[in-house]
Structure 1
């Protein structure tokens, strides 16, 4: 037999750590994040919606209930019911969501992939997904993993006596790890290197430590400091858009069910997490070598015990027991800090999950006691204790918000279980505000009115771009639909200080003159129409004739239906497509450009043609800073970057001057977001492609396709 010609080192590139290009040039742009937006890899939302329509939801719910009460020997159910496990599965799937960038959450089923599937806080949820696999296998493409995990949590609540608000399907599964999400810089689980000088969690993160969904249940950094835990709870939950009442409803409601598992020391008995587990484990992690390794010997968090004597039934027992007893600080069998009820009544002692002959005192976590000892939390908690109906309503609304917040507007929800009630966090748009009666002749009239208005093409383009580019695919928030660029806080974003106000005023005047009972156009549609018409005129200047498709399907939001707190997080700190960089922002513009392209769901090719086309048409925040063309949709931007007659010299850390190599005359003032398309080898390859003389018409078509994608992102 011949000796294998390769070593493990030779094939190191097949592992993440083997990306030697990234090791050699760690500051090189990571264009791979835009490959996540490749249509060949991302399942189609329309196809999934069609498959979901075939789903027998009643049969699926019945099957889920059967699974929940059919204990499996390989992973026995506590008290014979997997409901609490599935509630935790759904909660931890959705609970990673954060307002700052819309990342995390349940809408892609990313709990199945690294690193989330291997976080300490998600220990043993791999078993919950395996318990659901027979159901997923049976219903196939009609239910995504992302939807199934949330629905399982809902069904669990209902099977244990709680009435949820409902369920909206429509979450499309990802098929690979989301490498475009920053979870922190720590290299070890439970490390905490995410604090500012004043001790607060850094702005871009939601959890208190690496590997947690929210906060450490033992207290800050494992220290049983109840009031310190209250501060961290409030901070962490607010980062996902929850107020104090919603936070308490979720904690008290969720901890009405189930138990903690800490039969022994996890450091001694638990094997590696799923991503590091041996191949024979087939994706399961945390193999437990303590006694049977399951049932009464289960190790998850290291905490041990149940909160209530009725852990598989919805009632008021969590808050009742929390306020009824004093609590002693003790160590669990695994060595974790927890609080045990002092001299509990027999009726409040908890029957063992696997041995009905045993009973134990109820326990609370440091984070639970925060609901009693923090004055503001305590006022809300007592109100819920005294009014169970109020508590039930609050938990139902908070649970629905938790599990649906990252799905975007309500129009994206699928299925017969969607509740009729609308919530401001769903970004509602009044139905009466949508365009009506708009046909080809109306479009022609509106274009003529735009011409007569005197609005510049650059202003129309800039306004349409700013409206649509506020979209982020991470939670489907923002975008052109709703015309919230005319409302606070968006109209006051720094990027909208140029062009936008006067353009909106002009478009509103056109609407007033045009709209009738028979035909009316929304401001949102007119903004997109105005920008798209400007693209058509730029195409004509380049010597081509092409109509830019515009879908008339948008409505106009109102200020009172706009969640101003949530929308403030959509303000861009940079937009390299129009050479905008917020004052005080010290990020590299090319990195911010990539972030913006990723949030818009663009591929590398789409990013290149949009950046080049907008510049060619003269669209920018500051017309003096950037490589801009004459207004035609042509390849002039790429011509300039590939012209060796021009030499680029730094002016400062952000700006560069392009000078004629022979005369020394300054021709351009460029930014890093301009020059990256000539400096990065992969981007330069595309710039050279578009600079070829035979690609001008092809470029126009490519730009229009990408432009329409951005304009229609939130339709």
Structure 2
């Protein structure tokens, strides 16, 4: 390890030459023959650089950095060590997943740090009371609660273990401003949940906003299932904490913003990928199997958890009830589907006989009728005797997504 690179870069003058391969590169005008020739061990050459190297002394911003490091090589060594550490650990997830005696004590904002959990966990009695308080809170309903819980948890990316509900970063920038999260509705739901939190936290125990967001989704799913005639207990594991804005890198989290999310019928395809392909990619990041993908989309449509609150894809007359109506009506042969425009993003379902409009849907909905594997799964859930199976499978897949970032539960 030495500072030879910067010394050569800053102490030499450079002239444009042609390499033996015919490419342009830069050679030190006043350089000495210090570098072994790659082909003849008896020959030595002057230092050569690429244009990307020369940028470090011609761009004023880079020049300030390189001249500083030339005079303070210990700062370069420290900066390199931190950058190398980040490169090797960027896809490892939070510090809680690190193992071994050499885990550094210092944490960095790119690790999406979370504060340590304090106090006693809420118990079953507390959970029951909080669910009742959430459902009774003004302005909250099944659709809104399920939507916010999903929006929070579904930011998880298995590729680098980032995102998820823990930290309640949906309440912070940049997530609070994402179009996919319906900022106006999100703010209303969070305000209501914070009032429930404030009331509960006035006692001896504390509950985080992150836990309340997920618990709101739990309460919504249980109520929707009950209203559909199926009693079910949705598992809930407390222990999440709330991150601060200072612990959240706005630019870095901006890359988690979805281009399209078929689970809540947000966005559309691009030149790079079709709408349904974005949906499959999202399911992959959430580690979902085809049956889990299918049951979650059908359930979220039944709950009315679309990004803009519209009825697009909500193929039911019982919005807010956890029924299998989405699959029943999607596969109904009395419905004829026609595209609304040349881009084939939006579709209208009309009655085959009366020609009356029945439903509105997107490619993210119709793929469950057109794709062979997804249609086969949809037909299982559309069966008249599949109502309880549908609810049970939805709850299992929902709980999985809500806990994808709970690495503390997986130790």
Task: Tell whether the 8 Å contact from 1:371 to 1:378 is kept in structure 2 after alignment.
Answer: yes
Match of 2:255 among 569, 584, 590: 569
Change (3 A) 1:643 1:329: same
1:622-701 to structure 2, matched below 5 A, reads: 622-629=309-316, 630=318, 631-652=320-341, 653-701=344-392
Q: Distance in 1 between matches of 2:7 and 2:167?
A: 45
Q: Distance in 2 between matches of 1:416 and 1:336?
A: 47
Match of 2:155 among 470, 490, 494: 470
Task: Tell whether the 8 Å contact from 1:618 to 1:628 is kept in structure 2 after alignment.
Answer: no
Corresponding residue number in structure 1 for 2:409: none
1:611 aligned to 2:297? yes
Provide, for residues 540-571 of structure 1, a one-character-per-residue CA deviation record: whole Å limited to 9, x for no partner: 22322221112213111111111001112222
Task: Tell whether the 8 Å contact from 1:515 to 1:521 is kept in structure 2 after alignment.
Answer: yes
1:440 aligned to 2:143? no
Corresponding residue number in structure 1 for 2:237: 551
State the 1:699 CA deviation. 1.9
With structure 2 as the length reference, what TM-score do the two structures score? 0.89
Task: Tell whether the 8 Å contact from 2:17 to 2:24 is kept in structure 1 after alignment.
Answer: yes
Provide, for residues 250-282 of structure 1, a one-character-per-residue CA deviation record: whole Å limited to 9, x for no partner: xxxxxxxxxxxxxxxxxxxxxxxxxxxxxxxxx
Q: Distance in 1 between matches of 2:212 and 2:84?
A: 37
Task: Tell whether the 8 Å contact from 1:338 to 1:366 is kept in structure 2 after alignment.
Answer: yes
State the 1:698 CA deviation. 2.0
Corresponding residue number in structure 1 for 2:49: 364
State the 1:679 CA deviation. 1.8
State the 1:343 CA deviation. 4.3
Q: Distance in 1 between matches of 2:39 and 2:78?
A: 32
State the 1:582 CA deviation. 6.8
Q: Which segments of 5 or more consecutive residues in structure 1 lack a partner in the other structure? A: 1-313
State the 1:439 CA deviation. 1.0
Change (3 A) 1:642 1:583: closer
Q: How many residues align?
A: 399
Q: Distance in 1 between matches of 2:268 and 2:383?
A: 34
SS in 2 for 1:330: strand
Provide, for residues 413-470 of structure 1, a one-character-per-residue CA deviation record: whole Å limited to 9, x for no partner: 22222211111111111225x6742111111111121122142011100100111112
Corresponding residue number in structure 2 for 1:702: 393
SS in 1 for 2:358: strand
1:314-713 to structure 2, matched below 5 A, reads: 314-345=1-32, 349-350=34-35, 359-432=44-117, 436-454=120-138, 455-497=140-182, 499-516=185-202, 518-581=204-267, 588-621=274-307, 622-629=309-316, 630=318, 631-652=320-341, 653-713=344-404
Q: Distance in 2 between matches of 1:714 and 1:412?
A: 11
State the 1:381 CA deviation. 0.7
Corresponding residue number in structure 2 for 1:305: none
Tell me which of the two structures has the higher relative contact order, counting C-alpha pairs closer than 8 angstroms and 6 or more residues apart. 2
Q: Distance in 2 between matches of 1:702 and 1:435?
A: 34
Task: Tell whether the 8 Å contact from 1:494 to 1:582 is kept in structure 2 after alignment.
Answer: no
Corresponding residue number in structure 2 for 1:199: none
Task: Tell whether the 8 Å contact from 2:315 to 2:326 is kept in structure 1 after alignment.
Answer: yes
Q: Distance in 2 between matches of 1:585 and 1:526?
A: 39
Provide, for residues 305-355 of structure 1, a one-character-per-residue CA deviation record: whole Å limited to 9, x for no partner: xxxxxxxxx111110111112234334444444333334347xx1357899
Provide, for residues 36-55 of structure 1, a one-character-per-residue CA deviation record: whole Å limited to 9, x for no partner: xxxxxxxxxxxxxxxxxxxx
Q: Which segments of 5 or more consecutive residues in structure 2 lack a partner in the other structure? A: 407-411
1:191-230 to structure 2, matched below 5 A, reads: none
Provide, for residues 159-206 of structure 1, a one-character-per-residue CA deviation record: whole Å limited to 9, x for no partner: xxxxxxxxxxxxxxxxxxxxxxxxxxxxxxxxxxxxxxxxxxxxxxxx
Q: Distance in 2 between matches of 1:451 and 1:624?
A: 22
State the 1:501 CA deviation. 1.3
1:714 aligned to 2:401? no
Task: Tell whether the 8 Å contact from 2:346 to 2:361 is kept in structure 1 after alignment.
Answer: yes
Change (3 A) 1:651 1:350: closer
SS in 2 for 1:637: helix
Q: Distance in 2 between matches of 1:396 and 1:375?
A: 24
Change (3 A) 1:518 1:415: farther
State the 1:408 CA deviation. 2.5
Corresponding residue number in structure 2 for 1:180: none
Corresponding residue number in structure 2 for 1:72: none
State the 1:483 CA deviation. 0.6
Q: Distance in 2 between matches of 1:571 and 1:520?
A: 30
With structure 1 as the length reference, what TM-score do the two structures score? 0.53
Provide, for residues 345-368 of structure 1, a one-character-per-residue CA deviation record: whole Å limited to 9, x for no partner: 47xx13578998654433322221
Provide, for residues 550-605 of structure 1, a one-character-per-residue CA deviation record: whole Å limited to 9, x for no partner: 22131111111110011122222221111122799996432222232222222222
Corresponding residue number in structure 2 for 1:251: none
